Structure 1
Amino acid sequence: MVAMNTEAKSLLFILVTIIAIGLVVLYSASYITAFKWPYPSFDYYLKRQTFAILVGLVAMLITSLIDYRVHRKYVLHYYMIVFALLVIALAFPGKGGSRRWIDLGYFDLQPSELTKLLIIIFVAHYAEKQKKYMKTFIKGFMIPVAFIGFLLFFVFIEPDLSTTIYLIFLFLIMLYIGGARDIYILSMIGLGVLTLFIAYKFELLRDYQIERIKNFVDIVTGNGKNVWHQTSSSIHAIKNGGILGLGLGFGELKYYIPVQFSDFVFAVLGEELGFVGISGLLVLYILMVRQMLKAAFESIKDDFGRMIIVGYAFMVLLQVTINISVVLGILPITGLTLPFISYGGSSILVFLAGYGLVLSTITHQ
């Protein structure tokens, strides 16, 4: 068994601290909702989240013990597995108009979450293997775009526009880290923005997607009459928390925020722990990302390992930024979770498995 060094131990400490904060805030945010029919138990969501965390920790242990270099051999196998799961998800009955989950009984698996790790491993391997061709248009850009774009099509038709956009940005970040030309990446971003604008303008998106964008536009323009209750309540909750917060369990506005224990759990944290609590959590995320980047550029000897760590660090940073921006009304509602905090089994499982991959990369040097 490989011994953990100081870098790995510090990352574990940060992770455990964030998870502990998450469980406490999750219980405070969810116990009233959990007691309502059909879940007559104050700790219903807490139990399910704890179960997901335990499964995730097992996955983290496994991925941390396996030498990260082994994954080079199985990239295409992982690709086919994720592809198969995305197709299977489309065959299951939908929830809220979307077919994103595979019902496993006590646990719903969301294959699009697995796509995050696949993108990191796939591009890291491809960029290392094709290093001298990464500046070219075909091998350095179009081939990886074709492979990943094929998978993202299935995420898009679930439908899950916000996750698709998130995955595109994660993919482009990985391409940039891998050495692809800036002009190709910027051109793809420009094309994506233009496509989204046209789809919105001509109402090619689904009704709820159009409403989310309109809600965001109303916030930006100051037109409060059409701003969603969910967004306005989350903003008021954070303001209500002030500097020190109202205290754990004493939040007042959390009862009026839909899915307050999932996508909008940051608002509950802000109201109950205040600016101090928000700042503390953000510092932990920053320390996590900083420690990963420091390890990637100072301790990792190969491009594959370095790209895995940097990619995962940006995977966390990107999702934290988007989730908090949504809660603050800076971005349209996306449905993306706050890593290690929000209720969501697939998200917890994937982020912890990825964390194990980072630990493996650091310890197997």
Structure 2
Amino acid sequence: MLKLDRGILIHFDFVQPVLIIPIIVTSFILIAEANPFLAEKQIVYILVGFLAFGFFFILPIKKLSWIIPTLYWINIILLLSVDLFGVEKLGAKRWLEIPFVHFTIQPSEIFKPSFMLMLAYLIYNKPPPKNGYKLKDFLRLSFYILLPFVLIAGEPDLGTAMVLLIVGFGTLFIIGVNYKIWLSIILVIGISSPIIYTHLLKPYQKQRIHDFLSEKPSYQVKQSIIAIGNGGLSGKTSEFATQTHFKFLPISTSDFIFAYVVERFGFIGGTALIVCYVFLILHLLSLNYKFKEDYFIRVVTSCLALFIFIYTAVNISMTIGFAPVVGIPLPFFSYGGSSFTTFMVFFGILQNLLTFRYSWMDKNFKLGNRK
């Protein structure tokens, strides 16, 4: 483990907790109002998340980077195991049961940190040339993105698979890939999209798209829009947030919690929450350019910014009828432990790389094959 000293105060990025902690506190207040029992469980999830943050914060990640490929392939094996030994819930095999304790884990959620670290490891060891990656290197990196996409989409969990796909290729776009490759990809997707819709999407996935494109919104979205309208400019007090407390708003503490935010705090509160996420994303992207010579940090910040952007944009868009309803939570805000813990792991890794970055700058340090 790394030695902790006063240097932490110098290099620790305090902007991140300043933006994240208000989000967590507001979320807990709303969950406690809606369901005190869930709030008690959320306390446990928050504690687990901060413990996960602390563990990865003090872990010498770059010195242990040689293990990153092994962790990636272990997680790939877990994803393969889902098809053979997975537990089915609501028509999908996404979980593995731990023997004897009857506790389930979701490999697709555990996979995300190793996915991010694997991209960082590969790109750090072979950075892009001046004009971006050429086809050979692009295909090599694409393999590590497409493999988990195929496995997770087959569970089926197209939402998580698409998030990984967009984050992976979005990171390559930020880091640098020759523009001719992107033009070719856009052309292929445009030509093949009818085939993808007709032959590859599951019936329930087509139904979600149909509900999104139909003139009338689904029941869930309709109730969400009513809750948002009920909030007005400054929101309602707890007893007058009728959509939530009379159980008209479905899944008000998780998937549709943004509608509850607006019902309670109005347009002003909803805008304030969005502004927090926007500042957090912009701050992460600014770190990408601040440390432009360190591709490990650049990949981690790019991945994390894209994860937060996609989760936030999709979750808020579906609550107002601008996107199909999918099970994507609002980062640090929706009730639940898996997403919260995953994002705390992400930020633990990033804070480790930033706070202890000068610990790696010695002449004997190696990351994979790079000195």
Structure 2 length normalisation: TM-score? Answer: 0.85
Asked whether the 8 Å contact 1:230–1:258 carries over to 2, the reply is: yes
Q: C-alpha displacement at 1:114, in angstroms?
A: 2.9
Provide the aligned C-alpha RMSD in A.
Answer: 2.3
Long gaps (5+) in structure 1: 32-41
Structure 1 residues 123 and 299: CA distance shift in structure 2, 3 A = closer
Matches of 1:94 and 1:66 in 2, distance apart?
35
Asked whether the 8 Å contact 1:25–1:248 carries over to 2, the reply is: no
The aligned amino acid for 1:306 is: R
Q: For 1:5, what is the secondary structure of its paired residue?
A: helix
Asked whether the 8 Å contact 1:293–1:309 carries over to 2, the reply is: yes
| Match of residue 294 from structure 1 | 286
| Match of residue 273 from structure 2 | 281
Matches of 2:193 and 2:32 in 1, distance apart?
37
Q: C-alpha displacement at 1:299, in angstroms?
A: 5.2
Structure 1 residues 203 and 25: CA distance shift in structure 2, 3 A = farther
Query: Aligned to 2:234, which of 234, 239, 244?
Result: 244
| Match of residue 179 from structure 1 | 176
Matches of 2:183 and 2:324 in 1, distance apart?
22
Asked whether the 8 Å contact 2:11–2:355 carries over to 1, the reply is: no
Q: C-alpha displacement at 1:351, in angstroms?
A: 0.4
Structure 1 length normalisation: TM-score? Answer: 0.87
| Match of residue 367 from structure 2 | none
Give deviations 1:305-364, integer Å, cap 9, x for gaps: 122122212211221111111111111112111000112221111100001111112211
Matches of 2:263 and 2:152 in 1, distance apart?
34
Aligned-pair identity in percent equals 27
The aligned amino acid for 1:110 is: Q
Matches of 2:15 and 2:326 in 1, distance apart?
31
User: How many pairs align?
Assistant: 345
Asked whether the 8 Å contact 2:113–2:346 carries over to 1, the reply is: yes
Matches of 2:63 and 2:192 in 1, distance apart?
39
| Match of residue 336 from structure 2 | 344
Query: Aligned to 1:138, which of 129, 132, 136?
Result: 136
The aligned amino acid for 1:170 is: V
Query: Aligned to 2:86, which of 67, 84, 92?
Result: 92
| Match of residue 218 from structure 2 | 228
| Match of residue 75 from structure 1 | 68
Q: Which piece of structure 1 moves more, 115-124 or 238-247?
A: 115-124
Structure 1 residues 161 and 119: CA distance shift in structure 2, 3 A = same
Q: Which piece of structure 1 moves more, 5-14 or 348-357?
A: 5-14
Q: Which piece of structure 1 moves more, 328-337 or 189-198?
A: 189-198
Give deviations 1:270-329, integer Å, cap 9, x for gaps: 111111111221122122223323333225751111221222122112211111111111
Q: For 1:4, what is the secondary structure of its paired residue?
A: helix
Q: C-alpha displacement at 1:194, in angstroms?
A: 5.1
Matches of 2:104 and 2:189 in 1, distance apart?
30
Matches of 1:92 and 1:274 in 2, distance apart?
42
Asked whether the 8 Å contact 1:124–1:178 carries over to 2, the reply is: no
Asked whether the 8 Å contact 1:59–1:352 carries over to 2, the reply is: yes
Q: For 2:252, what is the secondary structure of its paired residue?
A: coil
| Match of residue 114 from structure 2 | 118
Q: For 2:92, what is the secondary structure of its paired residue?
A: coil
Q: C-alpha displacement at 1:51, in angstroms?
A: 1.5
Please give the residue correspondences for 1:162-241 in structure 2 after superposition, counting only pairs within 5 Å: 162-192=159-189, 195-200=192-197, 202=198, 204-218=200-214, 223-224=215-216, 227-241=217-231
Query: Aligned to 1:10, which of 5, 15, 29?
Result: 15
Q: Which piece of structure 1 moves more, 146-155 or 80-89?
A: 80-89
Long gaps (5+) in structure 2: 358-371
Q: For 2:277, what is the secondary structure of its paired residue?
A: helix
